[in-house]
Amino acid sequence: MEQKVNWREYRPFAEGNKLVKVQIPAEYSLVFSGESGYKTNELPRLNGAYALYPIYAAMAQGMYPDATAAHFQYVTTDGSDVIYEDLLKGDRDLIFALAPSKNQQEDAEKAGIEYELTPFCMDAFVFFVNAENPVDNLTTEQIKGIYSGKITDWKEVGAPSSTKIVPFQRNEGSGSQTTLQKLMGDTPIMPPLKEDRIGGMGDIINDTANYRNFKAALGFSFRYYSTELLRNNQIKLLSIDGVAPTVENIRNGSYPLVATAYMVTARPRSANMRKIVDFMLSPEGQKLVEETGYVPVRPMSEP
């Protein structure tokens, strides 16, 4: 059964939303010059990856002054390919995303722009199969073999019987596809068949769960999206190199495929952008990260 995320449940200022409620210490209050309120250009325009929306939407709900304007004008969410384009064009001021892809970095260099990246949380990059697939673990070398086309059958990686592997991929520029590319390093990724290139992050999970030959499909995403937002119980997250993608294993560094998320700007940071960055790295901001379901980049005891 296909699952979808109801993003309205994470809209800041919406009554009864699922966002973590956070109290913003006075030192992180946004600053405004107008006597009768804020000027439009004083509120940073935020965008970010879908999976990170619950974090920065909760932050905005605590920091931004006007409910309607703050959500519809200043706090949006989109795919990683779109949010980097918006940042580069100046349509957004601060985005919450994984590091840019090689192409996105080259686009910035051509425009004479240097991205400033500040890490604020971590998650696991995960690979998953249909829950009926007998395979529970892949090594990083096996993943490289599968996505380079050298390994083509589940029996080669521990399944008891022969079934052709169908390795799904995401669209170019998406955060998860960029993470796969970084994992592969110098090993070329085989071009996917048209039907094996999946557009949305939720689609790759649903398609793996519902693939016509349940033993065949292999997909990838991020732990929080697949277990907390979508919650599709028809997929199984694989251990990698014998280590499960749990919060504890991300925290202690034993899980080998940890993805770091950043606050990214393309131009000098305004006073209010710096306030947001400083809050997210504060104990209160890192607590928000943890209570949302991610792993903080700073130990909770660190000032």
User: What confidence tens digit (pLDDT) does each residue in 115-137 have?
Assistant: 999 999 999 999 999 888 999 99
Residue 276 buriedness (CB in 10 A; 0-12 / 13-18 / 19+) = buried
Phi then psi for 207, rounded to 5 degrees? -70, -35
What pLDDT score does 2 carry?
46
d(CA 261, CA 253): 16
Predicted confidence band of residue 66 (pLDDT cuts 50, 70, 90): confident
Question: Largest Cα–Cα distance in the chain?
Answer: 72
Domain with CATH 3.40.190.10 in the chain: 8-122+260-296, 123-251
Closest CA to 136 of 241, 226, 220: 241
Q: Looking at the predicted structure, is the pLDDT value of residue 232 above 80?
A: no
* Percent of the chain with pLDDT strictly greater than 90: 66
Question: Which CATH architecture does the domain made up of 8-122+260-296 adopt?
Answer: 3-Layer(aba) Sandwich (3.40)
Which fold would CATH assign to domain 123-251? D-Maltodextrin-Binding Protein; domain 2 (3.40.190)
pLDDT top residue among 250 and 195? 250
Are the CB atoms for 168 and 194 separated by under 8 Å? no
Q: Which residues contact 167 (CB under 8 A, 6 or more apart)?
A: 146, 147, 192, 196, 218
| pLDDT higher than 70, residue 149 | yes
Residue 33 pLDDT: 84
Amino acid found at 142: Q
